[in-house]
């Protein structure tokens, strides 16, 4: 494969959604080498006009022939759309980076977090999967420690914002909060129950083993990304009335004892991580402060009182940014830098 030296011809599928809009913002902020940008969505959004910098681009309906002359296709339009269009885009010569769950556990498709397993990008056969938002922030925080002291077990409880469900959920939280504060009755639509001033330990569907699909994604995706099938993982995922940013309370059991100070030292030097950990001044990660930032924040690092070789920590990150769009763009950047993108668009 050749380096795309004259800029990439990029397409965004699902361009009008929250992640699609974040794709556009990040591509511009990071000065991604764009030769051209095409925006696609469903027939409901086709015809909308989106400003990209000072340029107005008309959103087109995604079609089978949308990917001619495209170098990189960023997908954020749901699993069914990805299952249909991603193979067509790859066949046309584009590198597909897909944010849905459609390809994550496919053995032929790399599942990538650049801070952890960037080398897996090279193995792609046209499609690369972007992991689940809660998985991304957890492995960014844990992998630097795992390299030094192999992890044996992870127990995690997530506190996931409504933006992970999409625009409709954000609007519902806003409306419900106003209704409750005014003394009215709430009728839920997006979730099974009221989300305002409430917590819902149900994200995605329940499986036969009692876990939800979201919880099982954390288990399977973490093992695949870290190339560590032996790690025992248990997760409980909770939807919380927060607009943006996911939080995680993580218990980790290592092979050997690791003092909290050693973990802080390792993480303070780790790519993509920022340590905020001083309980004397109430310094720790918070969802509100993570919004719009790139880092995975780690704090409350302490020895686990329940077993000798354990640590407990609190991890927070913007789920729309690092948990979705930014991670995908970082994959694209790495692929371009290493010459792992076929230069289709510039040849036509």
Q: What is the side-by-side order of every strand in the sheet holding 310-317?
A: 232-239, 151-160, 246-254, 310-317, 296-303, 273-275
Residue 238, burial from CB neighbour count under 10 angstroms (0-12, 13-18, 19+):
middle
- How do beta strands 49-52 and 55-58 pair? antiparallel
Q: Is 189 a catalytic residue?
A: no
Alpha carbon distance 29, 54 (integer Å): 14
Alpha carbon distance 96, 135 (integer Å): 20
Q: Is 338 a catalytic residue?
A: no
Nearest alpha-carbon partner for 321 in 330, 308, 309: 330
- Let me know: does 331 contact 58? Beta carbons within 8 Å: no
- Let me know: does 275 contact 295? Beta carbons within 8 Å: no
- The H or E element spanning position 61 is strand 60-61
Catalytic residue among 9, 124, 133, 146: 133
Catalytic residues: 133, 246
């Amino acid at each position: 494969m050749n380096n795309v030296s004259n800029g990439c011809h990029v397409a965004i599928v699902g361009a009008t959604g929250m992640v699609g809009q974040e794709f556009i913002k990040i591509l511009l902020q990071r000065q991604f080498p764009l030769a051209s940008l095409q925006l696609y969505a469903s027939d409901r959004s086709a015809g909308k006009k989106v400003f990209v910098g000072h340029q107005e681009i008309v959103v087109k309906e995604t079609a089978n022939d949308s990917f001619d002359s495209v170098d990189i296709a960023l997908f954020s339009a749901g699993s069914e759309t990805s299952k249909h269009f991603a193979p067509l885009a790859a066949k046309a010569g584009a590198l597909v980076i897909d944010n849905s769950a459609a390809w994550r556990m496919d053995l032929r498709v790399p599942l990538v977090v650049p801070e952890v397993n960037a080398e897996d990008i090279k193995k792609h056969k046209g499609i690369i999967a972007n992991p689940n938002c809660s998985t991304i922030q957890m492995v960014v925080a844990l992998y630097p420690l795992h390299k030094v002291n192999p992890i044996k077990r992870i127990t995690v409880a997530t506190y996931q914002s409504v933006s992970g469900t999409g625009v409709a959920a954000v609007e519902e939280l806003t409306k419900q909060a106003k209704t409750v504060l005014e003394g009215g009755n709430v009728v839920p639509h997006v979730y099974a129950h009221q989300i305002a001033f409430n917590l819902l330990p149900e994200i995605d569907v329940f499986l036969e083993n009692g876990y939800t699909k979201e919880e099982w994604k954390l288990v399977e995706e973490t093992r695949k990304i870290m190339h560590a099938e032996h790690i025992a993982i248990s997760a409980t995922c909770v939807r919380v009335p927060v607009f943006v940013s996911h939080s995680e309370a993580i218990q980790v059991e290592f092979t050997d004892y690791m003092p909290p100070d050693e973990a802080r030292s390792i993480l303070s030097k780790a790519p993509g991580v920022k340590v905020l950990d001083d309980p004397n001044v109430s310094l720790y990660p918070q969802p509100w402060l993570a919004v719009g930032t790139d880092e995975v924040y780690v704090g409350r690092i302490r020895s686990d009182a329940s077993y000798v070789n354990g640590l407990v920590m609190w991890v927070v990150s913007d789920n729309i940014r690092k948990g979705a769009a930014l991670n995908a763009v970082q994959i694209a950047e790495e692929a371009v830098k290493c010459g792992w993108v076929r230069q289709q668009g510039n040849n036509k």
